[in-house]
Amino acid sequence: MFVWSLLLIVAIAAVAFLLARSRMASPGNGRLHSLPGYHGLYVALWTGLPSLLLLLFWTALHGPLMDHFILHTLPADMLADAGTGKRQLLLSEIQTIANGQIFGQPNAAMLAAAETYKDWKNLANLAMLALGFAAALLGLSLAWRRLAPAFRARQGVERVLNGIMFSCAAAAVLTTLGIMFSLLFESARFFEMVPLHEFLFGLNWEPQIPLRDDQIAGLGAFGAIPVFAGTLLIAAIAMLIATPIGILSAIYLSEFASSRFRTTAKPLLEMLAGVPTIVYGFFAILVVAPALRQFGASIGLDVAPNSAFAAGAVMGFMIIPFVSSLSDDAISAVPHSLREGSYGLGATQAETIRLVLLPAALPGIVGGVLLAVSRAIGETMIVVMAAGLIAKMTANPLDAVTTVTVQIVTLLIGDTSFDSPKTLAAFALGLMLFIITLILNVIALKIVQKYREKYD
Higher pLDDT, 276 or 2: 276
Residue among 193, 144, 178 at smallest CA distance from 44 = 144
Question: pLDDT category, 349, cuts 50, 70, 90?
Answer: confident
Distance of CA 2 to the CA centre of its chain: 25
| DSSP classification of residue 205 | E
d(CA 404, CA 380): 9
d(CA 17, CA 12): 9
d(CA 219, CA 116): 49
d(CA 243, CA 14): 50
Task: List 206's β-bridge partners, or say none.
Answer: 221
d(CA 294, CA 316): 21
| DSSP classification of residue 295 | H
Main-chain dihedrals φ then ψ at residue 419, nearest 5 degrees: -130, 15
- What digits encode the pLDDT tens for the residues 224-281? 888 888 888 999 999 999 999 999 999 999 888 888 888 888 888 888 888 888 888 8
- What digits encode the pLDDT tens for the residues 290-317? 898 888 888 888 888 888 898 899 999 9
Q: Diameter of the chain by CA atoms? A: 93
Question: pLDDT category, 378, cuts 50, 70, 90?
Answer: confident
| Least confident stretch, 56-70, 265-279, 355-369 | 56-70
Is the Cβ–Cβ distance between 377 and 235 less than 8 Å?
yes
Question: pLDDT category, 215, cuts 50, 70, 90?
Answer: very low
Beta-carbon neighbour count of residue 332 at 10 Å? 15
160-164 mean pLDDT: 88
Looking at residue 217, its pLDDT comes to 45
Is the Cβ–Cβ distance between 188 and 169 less than 8 Å?
no
Looking at residue 218, its pLDDT comes to 47
- What digits encode the pLDDT tens for the residues 418-435? 677 888 888 888 888 888
Looking at residue 415, its pLDDT comes to 54
Looking at residue 113, its pLDDT comes to 78
Question: pLDDT category, 186, cuts 50, 70, 90?
Answer: confident
Cα dihedral sign for 90, 96, 98, 102?
A: negative
* Percentage above 70 pLDDT, the chain: 90
